[in-house]
Amino acid sequence: MTDLFAVDVQRILWRQMTWMMAAFGVLIVAAAGVILFVHTGNHHLFATRSDLRAAVAAAVVPLAFAGYMLGASALGADYTSRALTTLLTWEPRRRLVLASRSCASALVTAGLTVVVLLALIVALLPSAILHGTGGAPNGAWYLSMAAMTLRCVLFTAAVSVVGVSAAAIGRSTTAAVIGIVLYLVLIENTAVQALPSFARWLLVTDAISWIGQNSHTSAGAPNGHTVITGGLLLVGGMAALWAFATRALARRDVT
């Protein structure tokens, strides 16, 4: 298993897409840092505590998308190129193959998230130091920020596993992308409009609860869930999808 995992991590790290995502992410946050610095200097002040927190929380959306793409293509591209077929002639235990690929994808996505979030914080520091208001951050704030960053990392890693699972079910990256778009449009949007109470059990609102909450209470959460409840629901959804993907891959013909 460790050899397979090491190979899967290596395979993802050797892909151009991984490095392009990382470079693009760092570039975007660097540009955002410069724009924000100029903007706060001329027109507004930078509310250090709340703005930094909001920036990290907002960054998780593109990072989750990147993680999903990374996970989906980590398996989907191999399905399409038939590299998966070759791999299965070396390691025929398909559950192990999917587990390893999911873990590798989650690890690389977590690393990518850490790099981009650190770059984001560094990019925002000049604005915070020179144009910041609202008092200097204290220990509790740092602790809260660290916890939120950790939750962001875990969330994007989990989304990456969802991407791997969707590609295993759909047998390609394209199918995985179509799958998530359909989910967001049909379930998160249309179905929720028809049945608003259903929203509290869905991915987006639970992701907001998991990442955006200040404390372990449900106060202010869009769905009334605490950080822990939101996290558990996300993990549960991810695990169910992964189990389905594992079953599909194990039973299916791979040609």
Partner 1 sequence: MPSPSQNAVVEMVGLTKWYGRGAGGRLALDGLDLVVPSGGVFGVLGRNGAGKTTALRCLLGLVRPTSGVCRVLGADSSSDLHRVINRIGALIETPGLTPSLTGRRNLALLARLDRIGADGVERALRAAGLAERADDPVATYSLGMRQRLGIAAALLRDPEVVVLDEPANGLDPAGIAEIRRLLVSLAAEGRTVLVSSHLLDEAEKMCDSVAVMEAGRCVAVGPIGDLLASAGTGGVIVGVAEVGAARLVLVAAGLNVTIVDGRLRVSCPPADAARVTELLAAERLFVNELRYETPSLEDFFFGLTTPAGAGALP
Helix (H, G, I), strand (E, B) or coil at 215: coil
Distance of alpha carbon 49 from alpha carbon 140, whole angstroms: 11
Of 57, 77, 115, 175, which one interacts with partner 1 (CB under 8 A)? Answer: 77
Residue 85 CB, shortest distance to partner 1, in Å, is 4
| DSSP conformation class of 136 | -
Residue holding tokens 């929380």? 57
Residue 100 CB, shortest distance to partner 1, in Å, is 10
Considering only 77-85, 186-194, 196-204, 231-239, which stretch makes contact with partner 1 by CB under 8 A?
77-85
216 phi/psi in degrees, rounded to 5: -90, 15
4-23 residues near partner 1, rule: CB under 8 A: 4, 6-7, 10-11, 14-16
Count, residues in the chain:
255
Site for partner 1 contains 2 (CB under 8 A): no
* Neighbour tally for 208: CB within 10 Å: 17
Distance of alpha carbon 230 from alpha carbon 137, whole angstroms: 27
Site for partner 1 contains 92 (CB under 8 A): yes
183-212 residues near partner 1, rule: CB under 8 A: none
100 versus 156: smaller Cβ distance to partner 1? 100
Find the largest Cα–Cα distance for the chain. 62
Of 90, 140, 194, 195, which one interacts with partner 1 (CB under 8 A)? Answer: 90
Of 13, 34, 85, 135, which one interacts with partner 1 (CB under 8 A)? Answer: 85
Distance of alpha carbon 5 from alpha carbon 99, whole angstroms: 9
The one-letter amino acid code at 246 reads: T
Residue 180 CB, shortest distance to partner 1, in Å, is 23
Site for partner 1 contains 86 (CB under 8 A): yes
Given a contact cutoff of 8 angstroms between Cβ atoms, the answer to whether 97 and 28 are in contact is no
Distance of alpha carbon 132 from alpha carbon 55, whole angstroms: 14
Instruction: Fill in the per-residue mask, 18 to 57: x = in contact with partner 1 (CB under 8 A), - = not in contact.
Output: ----------------------------------------
| DSSP conformation class of 199 | G
Site for partner 1 contains 3 (CB under 8 A): yes
Binding residues for partner 1, rule: CB under 8 A, are: 3-4, 6-7, 10-11, 14-16, 77-78, 81-93, 251-255
